[in-house]
C-alpha cells in the first residue's frame, strides 16, 4: 500500500482521540539537533469541534484484536486497514516538521498482535526520533491498554506526554460496550506513569542529568454520550483520576456514531454543548474551588445545556448574592457568573487603591452578566433583580462571555 494511502487511513482513524493537546514542556534546541518545545504548549490549533490539529496525529495501525463497540477500529468493523512501519512514521514526522506543517507527533494505535508488541513499536518510533534524529519537538504516546509496566517506563523516557484512555466513565459502561477492557487495567498503567514521573522528579532534584520522564505529564480521554451515564458520574470519575493519578487533563469526547454499530449505542451523538459544559465544570472544580456536589447535586445529575454551570449554581444559590466587589473575599468573587480569574485579580488589585464603581468595570459582555450578582460603590440596580420573578429570563438574555469552546480551556467561566 502506498504511504499516502496509509496516511489517509491512519490519520482519519486517529481523529476520534481528543486527548492530544500539549502543555507544560520546555525543551531548548540542541546544537546539531532539530526542533524545540515551548512551555506554553505547542499544539494549540483546534478544529471547530475542539480537536487539535497541529500535531501529526496518526495511528501506528488500525488493526485491533479488541472489539470495543464504540470504536471504528474494532476487530469486527469493516474499515480498510493499514499499518505504518517505524521508519515510515519517523520519516513522515521529520519531513512534516522540517516543512513547518507540525510541531510534534501524537501517536496512538489499535492493538495489533499484543499490547506489548504494539507498544514496543511505538517506543521505537519515539526512540529513533529522539536519539537518531535528535528531534526536540513534542511527542505524545498513547499507553496501549494492557501493556507491561516495563514498556511504560521506557516510553516515558522519549515521550513528552503519555496517556492511557479510561474510555468510558464507569466499569458498568465498559462491561456493556467493551467487556475485554477494565478500569483497573487502565488505572494500573496510569499508576506506572505517575510513579515514573515522581521517580524522575526525585532523581532530578539530586542531579539535573537524571533523565526526564514524560515531563508534560499524563492525560486521559473519556467518551461522553455513548451510554446513559450522567454528568455527575462522569465528573466523579474525572475527579478521582485527577486526585489519584495526578493527571494534567481529562478530555471529554462526545461520542461519534459509527457505521454498523452495536444496538446498545445511541444512533446520534450527544450535543457538543454537553462536552463544552463538562469542560467548564472540570475547570470550575480544579481551579475555582467548586465541589462536584455543588455543581451536580443529587437533584441535578446532568448539566444544564442552556446555562453555564457557574450561572446554574448561582441561580440555585441566590441567597449568597449580590456580593460587594469592594469587600468580598477572592473565593466568593470567583463564584460570580462572568468573573474569571484574571478579572478577579484585577478587582483585588484595584480595590486596594480605591473603591470600585460600576463604571470602573467597563461594559464588556462579562460585566453585563456579572452586574446582576454584584454591587459596587455606586451601583446595585441590576443586583436588585435577583429576587424578582423574571430574573432568570433577564440573566439568560445577558450576553454570555463563555459560549465558545476555547473559553472552557482558558478558564473564562
Q: Name the residues that contact ligand SF4, by CB under 6 A.
A: 64, 66, 68, 71, 73-74, 110-111, 145
* Least distance from ligand SF4 to the Cβ atom of residue 145, Å: 6
* Least distance from ligand SF4 to the Cβ atom of residue 294, Å: 33
CA distances from 393 to 228, 307, 368, 386 (A): 30, 11, 14, 11
* Least distance from ligand SF4 to the Cβ atom of residue 284, Å: 29
* Least distance from ligand SF4 to the Cβ atom of residue 92, Å: 20
CA-to-CA distance for 112 and 119, rounded, in angstroms? 10
Task: Provide DSSP, 48-106.
Answer: TTS-B-SSEEEESB---S---TT-TTSTT------B--HHHHHHHHHHHHHTTS-SEEE
Question: For residues 73 and 124, which CB has a smaller minimum distance to ligand SF4 in the complex?
Answer: 73
Question: For residues 60 and 311, which CB has a smaller minimum distance to ligand SF4 in the complex?
Answer: 60
Question: For residues 74 and 140, which CB has a smaller minimum distance to ligand SF4 in the complex?
Answer: 74
* Least distance from ligand SF4 to the Cβ atom of residue 311, Å: 35
Question: For residues 16 and 372, which CB has a smaller minimum distance to ligand SF4 in the complex?
Answer: 16
The SS3 of residue 33 is: coil
* Least distance from ligand SF4 to the Cβ atom of residue 179, Å: 11
CB of 225 closer than 8 Å to CB of 231: no
Q: Any alpha helices (H) in 143-213, and if so which ranges?
A: 149-158, 171-177, 183-206
* Least distance from ligand SF4 to the Cβ atom of residue 175, Å: 14
CA 246 to chain centre: 14
CA-to-CA distance for 123 and 158, rounded, in angstroms? 8
CA 169 to chain centre: 14
Question: For residues 19 and 407, which CB has a smaller minimum distance to ligand SF4 in the complex?
Answer: 19
CA-to-CA distance for 330 and 326, rounded, in angstroms? 11
Question: For residues 62 and 245, which CB has a smaller minimum distance to ligand SF4 in the complex?
Answer: 62
Q: Torsions phi, psi of 62, nearest 5?
A: -105, 10
Is the torsion defined by CA of 125, 130, 136, 139 positive or negative? positive
Q: Torsions phi, psi of 143, nearest 5?
A: -80, 115
* Least distance from ligand SF4 to the Cβ atom of residue 70, Å: 7
CA-to-CA distance for 68 and 176, rounded, in angstroms? 9
The helix/strand count (H/E) of the chain reads as 15, 8
Question: For residues 145 and 413, which CB has a smaller minimum distance to ligand SF4 in the complex?
Answer: 145
Question: For residues 70 and 313, which CB has a smaller minimum distance to ligand SF4 in the complex?
Answer: 70
Amino acid at each position: 500500500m502506498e504511504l499516502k494511502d496509509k496516511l489517509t487511513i491512519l490519520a482519519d482513524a486517529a481523529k476520534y482521540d481528543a486527548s492530544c493537546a500539549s502543555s507544560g514542556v520546555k525543551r531548548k534546541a540542541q546544537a546539531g539537533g532539530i526542533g524545540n518545545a515551548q512551555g506554553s504548549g505547542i499544539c494549540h490549533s483546534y478544529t471547530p469541534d475542539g480537536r487539535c490539529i497541529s500535531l501529526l496525529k496518526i495511528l501506528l495501525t488500525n488493526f485491533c484484536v479488541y472489539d470495543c463497540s464504540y470504536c471504528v477500529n474494532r476487530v469486527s468493523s469493516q474499515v480498510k486497514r493499514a499499518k505504518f512501519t517505524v521508519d515510515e512514521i519517523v520519516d513522515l514526522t521529520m519531513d512534516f516538521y522540517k516543512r513547518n506543517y507540525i510541531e510534534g507527533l501524537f501517536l496512538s494505535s489499535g492493538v495489533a498482535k499484543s499490547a506489548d508488541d504494539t507498544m514496543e513499536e511505538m517506543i521505537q518510533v519515539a526512540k529513533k526520533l529522539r536519539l537518531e534524529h535528535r528531534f526536540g519537538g513534542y511527542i505524545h504516546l498513547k499507553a496501549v491498554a494492557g501493556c507491561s509496566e516495563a514498556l511504560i517506563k521506557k516510553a516515558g523516557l522519549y515521550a513528552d506526554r503519555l496517556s492511557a484512555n479510561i474510555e468510558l466513565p464507569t466499569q458498568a459502561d465498559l462491561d456493556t460496550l467493551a467487556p475485554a477492557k477494565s478500569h483497573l487495567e487502565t488505572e494500573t498503567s496510569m499508576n506506572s506513569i505517575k510513579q515514573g514521573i515522581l521517580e524522575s522528579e526525585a532523581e532530578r532534584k539530586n542531579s539535573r542529568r537524571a533523565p526526564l520522564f514524560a515531563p508534560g505529564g499524563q492525560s486521559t480521554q473519556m467518551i461522553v454520550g455513548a451510554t446513559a451515564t450522567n454528568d455527575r458520574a462522569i465528573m466523579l470519575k474525572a475527579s478521582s483520576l485527577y486526585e489519584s493519578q495526578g493527571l494534567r487533563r481529562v478530555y471529554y469526547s462526545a461520542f461519534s456514531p459509527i457505521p454498523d454499530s452495536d444496538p446498545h449505542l445511541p444512533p446520534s451523538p450527544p450535543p457538543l454543548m454537553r462536552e463544552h459544559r463538562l469542560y467548564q465544570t472540570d475547570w470550575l472544580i480544579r481551579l475555582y474551588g467548586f465541589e462536584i456536589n455543588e455543581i451536580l447535586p443529587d437533584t441535578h445529575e446532568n448539566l444544564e445545556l442552556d446555562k453555564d454551570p457557574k450561572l446554574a449554581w448561582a441561580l440555585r444559590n441566590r441567597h449568597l448574592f449580590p456580593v460587594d466587589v469592594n469587600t468580598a473575599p477572592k473565593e466568593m468573587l470567583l463564584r460570580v457568573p462572568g468573573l474569571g480569574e484574571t478579572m478577579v485579580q484585577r478587582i483585588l488589585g484595584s480595590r486596594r487603591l480605591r473603591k470600585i464603581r460600576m463604571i470602573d468595570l467597563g461594559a464588556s459582555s462579562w460585566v453585563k452578566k456579572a452586574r446582576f450578582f454584584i454591587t459596587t460603590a455606586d451601583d446595585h440596580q441590576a443586583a436588585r433583580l435577583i429576587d424578582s420573578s423574571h430574573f432568570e429570563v433577564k440573566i439568560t438574555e445577558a450576553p454570555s462571555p463563555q459560549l465558545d469552546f476555547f473559553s472552557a480551556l482558558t478558564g473564562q467561566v
